[in-house]
Structure formats: C-alpha cells, structure tokens
Amino acid sequence: MMRCVAAASAVWWVAGWATGAAMGQQYEPGDQVVVVAKAGLQVSGDTEVDEVGPGLVAEIEAVNGKWLWLANGMRGWLDQKHAIPLNRAAIDRLTAMIRRNPKDAGLYSGRAAVWKHLGEIDTAIADYSEAIRIKSSASAYNSRARAWDAKGEYEKAIVDYNEAIRLDPKNAAAFNNRGTAWSGLGEFDKAIADYNEASRLDPKNTSVYISRGMAWEIKREYGKALADYNALQSLDPVSGHNAAAWVLATCPDAASRNGKQAVINATKACELTDWKNAGYLDTLAAAYAEAGDFEKAVEWQTKVLHLAGEQGSDAYRARLELYKSGKPYHE
C-alpha cells in the first residue's frame, strides 16, 4: 500500500542518471515481471540492498529509463535486462534454465512461483515438490504450503508450514502464513498465536497486523483489532488508517464505532492515495454516514461508483441507496 510513496521517494537519485539509457521492453507501473537472473536491487548508484533470483514475480512500481522500481522485502531498482513480462514465455525461459541445471532446486521453486501467478496451482505444487526432493528447505516448504492455501487445502498447508518451522524456527513468514491457514480452518485462537510469534520475530511485518486484526474482528474483539490497525499506521499508513476507519464506521458493536474518528482516519488514507482509490473512498463514505453526514456520504459513494466504473460492485450501489435513505452501513 505504501508503494506510491516509496517509489516517489526513491526516484531522486536516478533522475538524469538513466535518462537516455538504452530501452528494451517498454514497461509501465502496475506491470508484472519475472526475474530471470541473479541480480541486485539498488537504491543509490551501485549500492545494493537486496538480491533477487530467477522466478521472482514482482509488480513494477515506477520506471526510469532502463530501471524498474520493485520490491522483494526491501524495495530497489532492477535493471530491466534481468526481467521479462509475466506470461508463458517466462515459463519457457525458466524451463530452458532447468534443462541446463537440472539439480538447481531454486530454479524449480522459481518456475513454481510463475506457475502459481499464472493460476496453474497443481503444476506449481509439482515444481515445489521437485525442489524439495532436490534440496529440502524451509523456503520451499513455505512456498508449497502457500500453493496449498491457494487451493483451500489448509490441512496440507499446515503440514508444510510445520516442516518449514521445524527447519527454521525463526521463520516469521511461515508463522504468519500458518496463521492464515488456521484462519481458513476457523481456528482463530491458533491463528492469533501464530501471528503473535510472527510479530515477535519480525515486528515490521505489516501483513501480520492486518491478518491478526481481521482475526480479532471475526472474534468480535474490535478494540484489539483497532490496536493492531493503529500500530500498523507507522509501518503502512494507508492500510492502517483505512482498516481502522472501516472498523470505526461499520463494526456491529455500537460501543466500538466512532464516526468522527473514522472520518479522520479515512481522509488520511484517501489523501495518501490522491483520492483515486475506490475502496478507500468507500470507507470514507461509510465514515461520513456513521458520523451522520449523509450528504457527504452520498457525494463520496457516488464518486466510488464513478471510479469503479464497470467494476463497481453491487455492494457499492447498495451502500449508496442506504445513505440516500439516511441510514449508515454496519456489517
């Protein structure tokens, strides 16, 4: 959610440096690419902050000449010669690399990641299994478990997460992901316990705050959910403010709602995204409705439908009619 802010703050150092650089594939922000070689992510000059490898799928957040701003834990610039568009050609490229290096477990995991992004989950699982056969690792088990998650086979996912944690007891991602699998099974106390451990191991993991907050919401412990969303605001202001505003505006517990504060939080999320995100404007409209300002709620919900266009959901339209009738939206 912070990608626009992060990308903007990083452009200064490369301005002018990449101007006139030889251009290959023409990319735009929002395009997805597959890394096809070991390469470094840079933030200034030749300073590397992270290394990426074949099979990493990432969304481009900014483009400057030949440089693509993307994220892999830490954000940085990647020379586009190390990436190709996410499509079936990426599979062919990785397959050729596997033929040359058939005992490279990382290449199988990389191709599996691309299969997963292309929606071929069973094929991805087969590649992850081959990677594990060649070289057992916490990363491979964690990745295969996420593929099981994508199929809704949470029990199988938990078995793999257990193995990932056994191999690497400090693997915060595996604890966080296992928490999500527990949530999928309706075991929210177990999920929260895993989220707690993930947060202890990696306090800056933003997804933990979101996932644990949602678990608290399902348990109807809205104060604890708000505590997570408020804590998230220092790490991911957009997600943190929007999530807090939604709870304050729409949760079923009247004692936990606060329309005035919801408007403050929702406004901040919209400001940070230039008032162009339909989902965040939807939260703002709900906040105004909870605050009793139905004129503003109708105004913003109308803009939601305009921004969403053909993607506008029935839920957006239903809320607009609710606000027109002078009623707030509560989940």
Which domains, from first to last, does the chain contain?
A: 3-85 (2.30.30.40)
pLDDT of 13 > 80? The answer is no
More confident call, 74 vs 315: 315
pLDDT digits (tens, 9 = 90+) for 89-113: 999 999 999 999 999 999 999 999 9
Residue 48 has pLDDT above 90, yes or no: no
Angstrom CA distances, 253 to 52, 82, 83, 294, 309, stand at 45, 51, 49, 20, 32
Q: What pLDDT was estimated at residue 74?
A: 67
For the cut 50, the answer to whether the pLDDT of residue 20 exceeds it is: no
Residue 270 has pLDDT above 50, yes or no: yes
Segment 125-164, tens digit of pLDDT: 999 999 999 999 999 999 999 999 999 999 999 999 999 9
> Is the pLDDT confidence value at 310 over 90?
no
Helix H segments across the chain?
3-10, 88-100, 105-117, 121-134, 138-150, 154-167, 172-184, 188-201, 206-218, 222-232, 237-250, 259-272, 278-290, 294-308, 314-324
d(CA 255, CA 268): 23
pLDDT of residue 49: 76
| Cα–Cα dist 142/157, whole Å | 8
Mean pLDDT of 39-66: 86
- Cβ atoms of 92 and 80 closer than 8 Å: no
Q: Which of 204-218, 246-260, 306-320 has the lowest mean pLDDT?
A: 306-320
Tell which residue, 115, 51, 110, 105, has the closest CA to residue 78: 51
Over residues 268-297, the mean pLDDT reads 97
User: pLDDT (tens digit, 9 = 90+) per residue, 190-246?
Assistant: 999 999 999 999 999 999 999 999 999 999 999 999 999 999 999 999 999 999 999
Length of the chain (residues):
331
pLDDT surpassing 50 at residue 322: yes
How confident is the prediction for the chain on average, in pLDDT?
91
14 pLDDT above the threshold of 80: no
